[in-house]
Amino acid sequence: MRLNLNDNLDTIIFAPMHRFLKVFFWGLLISFLGSLPMGTLNITAMQISIQETVQFAYYFSIGVVLVEIVYVRFSLVGINWVRKQRRVMKAMEWITLAIVLALAAGSFIAAMRENPDAKNVVLQNNMHRFVLGIMMSALNPVQIPFWFGWSTVLFSKGVLQPVRKQYNIYILGIGLGTLIAHTLFIFGGKLLVNKLNASQTYLNWVIGGIFTFTAIVYLIKILMRRDALKKVDDIKEEDILPNPID
């Protein structure tokens, strides 16, 4: 009788808990590693932390995470709708490119100013950094095919199942993973600047160079049709994830 009770507890409580933890871990790990390469969002978070405050940088990052989890949800249950928004996605890509170029130009302009504490002209506005994070993240449609691809892999391996609770815990892990990665940039950037005793001028030159490189790579992907739109077009009907059950 005791054996049966233990078996039931393991089946009812511990097995689902283990599965949820596994889904959470994979979401967190993929998101964390995917957010580590230098890009527009994490570098902007770092720049805000250095030139403004850590609090403002976290406002920005939370806005980024909020949009990301919405995009992940779309990649899980609304990919058919996304595939029909070709013009919107194409426009978003060109707007994103324009923003990255503006950030690069803003950093270079700040670097050439006589004021050593000058910051990127794009950041010289009264827009709340949370709203800025939402806007910049929303204009980055590459997140949709990225997360569709990884979700499909996890689904095929049996890690992720079409269950609403699993989708929710998966998205929670993804949001936390991105926030942890941004934390490394937020505090790592400040620590590096303090250790090197680097001036804002030097920092602006470096960040401007990173944004310029990012813009060039992004433009090449758009022109060579290796962008987010192409990845969404390549999604096959049979690969689309099933709607979740409760």
pLDDT digits (tens, 9 = 90+) for 161-207: 777 888 889 999 999 999 999 999 999 888 877 776 666 677 778 88
25 part of a folded domain: no
85 part of a folded domain: yes
174 part of a folded domain: yes
pLDDT digits (tens, 9 = 90+) for 76-115: 776 555 556 667 667 777 887 888 888 888 888 877 876 6
Cα separation values, 196 from 29, 202, 205, 210, Å: 30, 11, 15, 19
The range of the structural domain enclosing residue 68 comes to 30-239
Report the pLDDT value the prediction gives residue 222, as an integer from 0 to 100: 76
Q: How many domains does the chain have?
A: 1
225 — alpha (psi -120 to 50), left (phi > 0) or beta? Answer: left
First to last CA, the chain: 31
180 part of a folded domain: yes
Please give the DSSP secondary-structure letter assigned to residue 227.
Answer: S
Q: Which pairs count as long-range contacts for 202-206, CB under 8 Å and 24+ apart, including other chains? A: 202/111, 203/47, 203/50, 204/107, 204/108, 204/110, 204/111, 204/118, 204/119, 204/120, 205/107, 205/108, 205/111
245 part of a folded domain: no
Bigger pLDDT: 124 or 159?
159
Report the pLDDT value the prediction gives residue 106, as an integer from 0 to 100: 82
Sole residue written with tokens 């095919």: 145
Residue 224 clears pLDDT 90, i.e. is over it? no
154 part of a folded domain: yes
24 part of a folded domain: no
Residue 2 clears pLDDT 80, i.e. is over it? no
CA 75 to chain centre: 14
1 part of a folded domain: no
Bigger pLDDT: 56 or 40?
56
